[in-house]
Amino acid sequence: MKKSLTANIMFLFVFFLFTGLVTLPAQAGKAGKTVFATIGTGGITGVYYPTGGAIAKIVNEKKEQYGIRCTVEATAGSVFNVNAVLSGDLEFGIVQSDRQYQALNGLEEWKDKPQKDLRSVFSIHPESVTLVATVESGIKTMTDMKDKRVNIGNPGSGQRQNSIDALTAVGLDYEKDIKKEEVKAAEAPGLLQDGRIDAFFYTVGHPSGAFKEATAGATKVCFVPISGPGIDKLISEKPYYAKAVVPVKHYPTAQNDGNVETFGVKATFVTSSKVSEKVVYAVTKEIFENFEAFKSLHPAYEDLTKENMLEGLSAPFHPGAVKYYKEAKMVEVDKSRNVLIEKDGKKVKIGTVGK
């Protein structure tokens, strides 16, 4: 019995190896043919996962030319991705702009440990800190959350700190004033629909599978505004937060009349200083040269422009990305390695080139 199980596992492994469903990076390196670049995303009902897929699809169309093959991994989210990129487990990661800033500057999960090897490639879609609650729970404002069962997000996710910041800003202690859950975003809609939680936070682009699932079941739910003087103060204090809305047009069965106020960040594409210039250049070039094709792959990219894909980044740019931006005449680089764009006839610094 045991022997046949081992044999089956071996068979499956060899099968997956041949079909390319699992890869051996070391072997690929030795053969000198294909370099594997893995992109860390998020849960499969978010927007990072299809975004990783969209990037991989476009880059893999030139697999033969570059000898690069992109693969996508579902992960716990932003914080996990930063750490996995810096440890060399992943070549790229999709990361909230606030988490990028915190990692670079040694804040929150990286307190006193600035992650100096983190590198920006480009930014992608906007993400809003989104709170949804069952109508039955009676939660209509943030302060109604007292003593309610609320999912703040799993460790490793980007949203966990956004939930804590929002709760703290309205005077609620996330450890004491709510019944806190910390499950992954992919599990939260099911729990909400089953009445096992009253509300959950998720920082994500729209539309997302998670909120389609949360709003489409028999249990009536509504998006809750994250607004008021406490939230305004939070936004003014943190450089990485800005006002945003939840666009409810994507979720017609949610019990809301119009867009819901909140705050938000941006999804960004990051790598490490240790990843080769060749790989980062190829990925950057393919996404920008096939911009319209990329943009058509997800409705969350509705407002993307090549120009705004260079905004919201705080880590130094990877030299491979800048090589493309210079070639495409999108930026100039001065002697002090400052990256400049032209805005209203003036040169404006948007970052630096990392080493």
- Which residue, 156 or 354, is less far from ligand GLU as judged by CB? 156
**Does 284 engage in binding with ligand GLU (CB under 6 A)?**
no
Of residues 96, 97, 137, 268, which one binds ligand GLU by CB under 6 A? 96
Residue from 35, 37, 47, 150 that binds ligand GLU (CB under 6 A)?
47
x/- letters, 97..136, toward ligand GLU (CB under 6 A): ------------------------------x---------
157: contact with ligand GLU by CB under 6 A: yes
Nearer to ligand GLU among residue 155 and residue 171 (C-beta): 155
Residue 159 in contact with ligand GLU, rule: CB under 6 A: yes
Q: Which tokens hold the place of 150?
A: 């609320």
Does position 77 interact with ligand GLU (CB under 6 A)? The reply is yes
53 three-state secondary structure: helix
Q: Which stretch binds ligand GLU (CB under 6 A): 109-117, 200-208, 285-293, 338-346?
A: 200-208
Q: Which is nearer to ligand GLU, 97 or 193 (CB)?
A: 97
Nearer Cβ to ligand GLU (49/317): 49
CB of 142 to ligand GLU, least distance (A): 19
**Helix H or strand E encompassing 136:** none
Helix (H) / strand (E) containing 71: strand 68-73
Structure tokens at 326: 């210079």
Distance CA 244, CA 198 (A): 23
43 binds ligand GLU per the rule CB under 6 A: yes
CA distance 335 to 344: 22
Site for ligand GLU (CB under 6 A): which residue of 78, 115, 134, 262? 78
Residue 264 interacts with ligand GLU (CB under 6 A): yes or no:
no
Which residues, in sequence order, are bridge partners of residue 159? none
Which alpha helices (H) appear in 217-271, and where do they start and end?
Answer: 229-237
Task: Locate all alpha helices (DSSP H) within the chain, ordered by sequence.
Answer: 2-19, 25-31, 48-60, 63-66, 78-87, 97-105, 159-169, 188-193, 209-216, 229-237, 277-289, 291-295, 319-327
Size of the site for ligand GLU (CB under 6 A): 15
Give the DSSP per-residue string, 171-197: T--TTTTSEEE---TTTHHHHHHTTS-
Q: What is the side-by-side order of every strand in the sheet holding 332-333?
A: 332-333, 338-343, 346-352
- Nearer to ligand GLU among residue 78 and residue 137 (C-beta): 78
Rule CB under 6 A: choose which of 34, 35, 40, 48 binds ligand GLU: 48
Residues that bind ligand GLU (CB under 6 A): 42-43, 46-48, 77-78, 96, 127, 157-159, 203-205
